[in-house]
Structure 1
Amino acid sequence: MRWDDFRRSSNVDDVRDEGGGGGGFRFPGGGGGVGIGGLIVVGLISWALGVDPRLILAGLETVQGGGGSGYSQQDQPGQKQRELSPEEQKQGDFVRAVLAQTEDVWDDIFKQSGSTYQKPRLTLFSGVTRSACGRAQSAMGPFYCPSDQRVYLDTEFFDELARKFKAPGDFARAYVIAHEIGHHVQNQLGIMEKANAARERAGSEEASNAISVRIELQADCFAGVWANWADKKYHILEQGDVESALRAATQIGDDTLQRRSGGAVVPDSFTHGSSAQRVKWFRTGVDGGDPKKCNTFAGQP
């Protein structure tokens, strides 16, 4: 993926050099959202501990703006404690470049429909930080909080993506960021509010999960739309880039993660979609570049 010569977004808050306390894997006590990385991290923890990921997923919410602080005094960011490594600085530079490209693309798309794109902010953190959806932690993976319209990302997740899930490369990382920005697009269009209201009325966990799947698959499709437009505008794609994103989408499908954990595949427990579904909808966005074709709420996802 070509990105070195593109502008950098000013909408990034990097607090990775701040002391925030908090060690180990602690799941959110508030109503935080679990983004594209959340399911990956759940899979990693399940694999390491030898437990069924459904037991972990049962305690997590998906892309909801919750109340409550969700953090304790020891979790609050403190004074700067360390210098970022050259690799961490490079990762931050990459995130700023990708975020800038999403800003430009979605600004163009919204202008075509006669509306204005409100740019989100992105917080880079290490370990734990605060969000309007509660405590943001590495164990949650990257996620979007609609309450403060921010994406939260611990860049160590990129290392896990490459090492544990064999999905290396800049474009696979960009796909993760673009997916979370896809949730912001949903939020701005009012899709997320309606979908979460439908989840509350669903009447069963299985029905609520099915709506969550459609939310996530649409964010995958919006990520593909971004890739299509960004390549036309900036020529970002290089050989093998789309394949790396598709590989990432395959590795984080609910069915693939459940098989990796050694458990049975239980479709009713899916919250993000199967590998085939994630590939299908990302490919729909990449091939067509038309956000109107990302209606995962119509028919079979």
Structure 2
Amino acid sequence: MPYGPPGRPTPPPRKSGGGFLSTLIVIIIVVVVGGLVRYAVNTGFDGAIGPRPTTTYTPGSGEAPAATGDNPLVTDTDGTLVPASCDYAPWGTQVERARAFFESAAVCLEAAWKPVMERNSLPFEAPTLSVTASTAGITTPCTGSTSNFAAFYCPANKTIYMPISQLQTDYFRDNWIVYLSVFAHEYGHHIQAQSGILIKANSERRAAGVHSDRGLELSRRVELQANCFDGMFISSTSDGGSLTADQVGLATEDSYGRGDRVGDMRDHGSSENGGRWFENGLAHNLTSRCNTFTASASEVS
């Protein structure tokens, strides 16, 4: 199924809305909770380095464990998003209509993820949502005052930024499933932050060097896990009757169109692996099947 209007070629592979490095890199250093946070163009986890873990996890304590592959969220073999019928507001490129759409999606995402977090004695706080026409004049703790960013999640203020101008609406038109999938990916980064996965990945990446082979591999593991969490949500809302088979097919095809391009920093993973991890979440709807931190190097290349 083509992404855009008939006769238009399939677009080249793209970073997801959460990409943290692309060919043109802008590095901004900000101070967040006593730690350094580094971001670049198209941020999401997405290059977040900091803050350092400061707590010891005790189940039921309300604190998140600083853990990745052995995090309770991904060692839970029954961690699934229960199918639900989501009442999505009509999509539109006008700010108010787009905001209403993403707000309705956020309600459904919270209903899907909160029980899984509670089941594993993990804290949950809904993210803040910022929907704007463009990136002009937007200042965030993660990007500073630069206007060169796409949709992304900023863990420093627990906010998902969805600038309409960066969603390729001229290409995808009213195929709102694509925008929903991008949003679900960014929400996946919020789940990583809430569960403690992001804190641990940040710490290890900082220790290894953010641009080292190990540092970039950690970034890919984070991004591909968010792809898998995205697939889980699309599966759950599809099973709940809110998406058609054609829409799920389009979201799946789109997942294979994102990833590292030639010349990019190897921070997101190949488009093939991006699609595979999305389909893994889609097919199984289990957090344990999204454990990218125990996957082989070739699965996160």
TM-score class normalised by the smaller sequence: 0.5 to 0.7
Question: 1:239 matched to which residue of 2?
Answer: 245
Note the residue ranges of structure 1 that are not aligned, 5 or more in a row. Answer: 1-34, 43-52, 68-84
Does residue 177 of structure 2 align to residue 193 of structure 1? Answer: no
Match 1:272 to one of 268, 271, 276: 268
Does residue 116 of structure 2 align to residue 109 of structure 1? Answer: yes
Residue 285 of structure 1: CA displacement? 0.8
Contact map agreement 2:114 2:124 (CA 8 A) in 1: yes
Paired residue type of 2:293? F
Change (3 A) 1:210 1:242: same
Structure 2 residue matching 1:36: 3-state secondary structure: coil
Change (3 A) 1:100 1:282: same
* Per-residue CA distance 1:173-216 (angstroms, 9 max, x = gap): 11100111100100011100110111111145222111101110
* Per-residue CA distance 1:144-168 (angstroms, 9 max, x = gap): 111111111101222x2652xx696
Contact map agreement 1:38 1:140 (CA 8 A) in 2: no
Q: Distance in 1 between matches of 2:206 and 2:106?
A: 31
Change (3 A) 1:65 1:122: farther
Q: Distance in 2 between matches of 1:167 and 1:202?
A: 42
Structure 1 residue matching 2:139: 3-state secondary structure: strand
Residue 225 of structure 1: CA displacement? 1.4
Change (3 A) 1:115 1:88: same
Change (3 A) 1:169 1:64: same
Does residue 282 of structure 2 align to residue 286 of structure 1? Answer: yes
Note the residue ranges of structure 2 that are not aligned, 5 or more in a row. Answer: 1-14, 28-39, 52-91
Match 2:232 to one of 221, 225, 238: 225
Q: Distance in 2 between matches of 1:39 and 1:148?
A: 18
Contact map agreement 1:63 1:144 (CA 8 A) in 2: no
Structure 2 residue matching 1:140: 3-state secondary structure: coil
Question: 1:75 matched to which residue of 2?
Answer: none
Question: 1:3 matched to which residue of 2?
Answer: none
Task: Report how many aligned residue pairs link the two structures.
Answer: 224
Contact map agreement 1:107 1:117 (CA 8 A) in 2: yes
Residue 117 of structure 1: CA displacement? 2.4
Give percent identity, aligned residues only: 26
Q: What's the RMSD between the two structures over aligned residues?
A: 2.8
Change (3 A) 1:40 1:199: closer
TM value normalised by structure 1: 0.66
Change (3 A) 1:195 1:155: same
Q: Distance in 1 between matches of 2:259 and 2:174?
A: 17
TM value normalised by structure 2: 0.66
- Which structure has more helix as a fraction of its residues? 1
Does residue 181 of structure 2 align to residue 178 of structure 1? Answer: no
The 5 Å alignment of 1:1-301 reads 36-37=16-17, 39=19, 42=22, 53=23, 56-57=24-25, 59=27, 60=40, 62-64=46-48, 87-125=94-132, 126=134, 127-135=136-144, 138-158=147-167, 160=168, 163=171, 169-203=175-209, 205-232=212-239, 234-254=240-260, 257-258=261-262, 269-300=265-296, 301=300
Residue 248 of structure 1: CA displacement? 2.1
Q: Distance in 2 between matches of 1:105 and 1:292?
A: 16
Residue 114 of structure 1: CA displacement? 4.2
Q: Distance in 2 between matches of 1:168 and 1:197?
A: 40
Contact map agreement 1:172 1:245 (CA 8 A) in 2: yes
Paired residue type of 2:105? V
Residue 133 of structure 1: CA displacement? 2.1
Which shifted more, 119-128 or 190-199? 119-128
Q: Distance in 1 between matches of 2:149 and 2:283?
A: 30
Residue 245 of structure 1: CA displacement? 1.5
Change (3 A) 1:226 1:93: same
Paired residue type of 1:189? S
